[in-house]
Amino acid sequence: MNEQWAITDSLRAIDQRIAREQKGVFSEALILFDHVLVHRTQPYSGYDGYEVAGKNLHYALTDSKPGVRHPRRPYYVSDKEANVSLADSEVVSLEQAWRWLNGWKRDRALMREQIVQQHQAWRNSRESGASDLRAREYERLRSGLDPLPPQIWSPAHERAWQADTDRWEVAAYQALQAWDSHPYSVTVILVGNIGPCDGCKARLKVFLYELSGELFPKAFVMTKAVYTGDRCKRGARGTTDRLDTEYGYPDHAEQQEFRLDGQTFWHPWVRVVTPWPVQQ
Ligand SMILES: [Zn+2]
């Protein structure tokens, strides 16, 4: 499933969840490798977050103790901002995407290890087979048997063996290189029915850093926010002490059309997540 289709289906799934629950704020993360959808979470509400991981969410970005700053929280986001947005749907969607990507990496590293071991086993058996023939040839010549025998292991055998081994070594090396360069590109799209708040915009950036810097340092990495509703809207959060925030992106968000059939279409905002802070 390509990107356009994946986003359309996600918008539809979110609409269905809203229709079922009458209201709510939902988001879903789509993961694409080389422009093909490989995993999607599901439309989550913020409340689902506690079912997934309790308070132990990777993208909470809140301080664990008073005075101990969360190491991944950007300087322009306060602990309060992170706290009031802790139960947002984006937090659990990013959590699930992050977990899946880590699991994929782990499985792939294990498979790579197996491939390398299998190749090593093949190399060893090939080597020992040839050594055995070489030894038998040496033994035969040493004991002076048969003045004109057919050779067990001649220089021609040796050359053919070497050429064959080299060919397979190159093939194995190329296969491993192809393995290591997959995926060439990683795209994660966060789809929702409201623009991310300031806290979640920061989380998306942290996610982007981890994706490109730690998880897939060799790949072309892109993260996008796709959301329906207003392009950006100011709001206040918190019950006792109010905190101003802004939902959505005031800059570089473009409206695009996603069409399911003749009748059903959406016009969400699409914003590529950039590593620098949002310009006001
Ligand atoms: Zn948020």
Q: Residue type at 54?
A: G
- The 10s digit of each residue's pLDDT in 208-253 is 999 999 999 999 999 999 999 999 999 998 777 789 999 999 999 9
- The 10s digit of each residue's pLDDT in 140-181 is 888 877 666 678 899 999 999 999 999 999 999 999 999 999
Which of 140, 158, 180 is at the close of a domain? Answer: 180
pLDDT of residue 280: 45
Assess if residue 279 is contained within a domain.
no
- Domains in the chain, number: 2
Cα(127) to ligand 1 centroid in Å equals 60
What torsion, rounded to 10 degrees, do the Cα atoms 228, 229, 232, 233 define? -150
Which of 151, 180, 209 is at the close of a domain? Answer: 180
Assess if residue 160 is contained within a domain.
yes
Cα(197) to ligand 1 centroid in Å equals 4
- The 10s digit of each residue's pLDDT in 23-46 is 889 999 999 999 999 999 999 987
Cα(192) to ligand 1 centroid in Å equals 11
Are residue 31 and residue 137 in the same domain, yes or no? no
Cα(207) to ligand 1 centroid in Å equals 14
**Distance (Å, whole) CA 190 – CA 10:** 10
Assess if residue 175 is contained within a domain.
yes
Q: How sure is the predictor about 55, in pLDDT bands with cuts at 50, 70 and 90?
A: low
Closest CA to 270 of 205, 195, 197, 187: 195
Are residue 21 and residue 97 in the same domain, yes or no? yes
Cα(257) to ligand 1 centroid in Å equals 24
DSSP type of residue 78: -
Which of 125, 159, 180 is at the close of a domain? Answer: 180
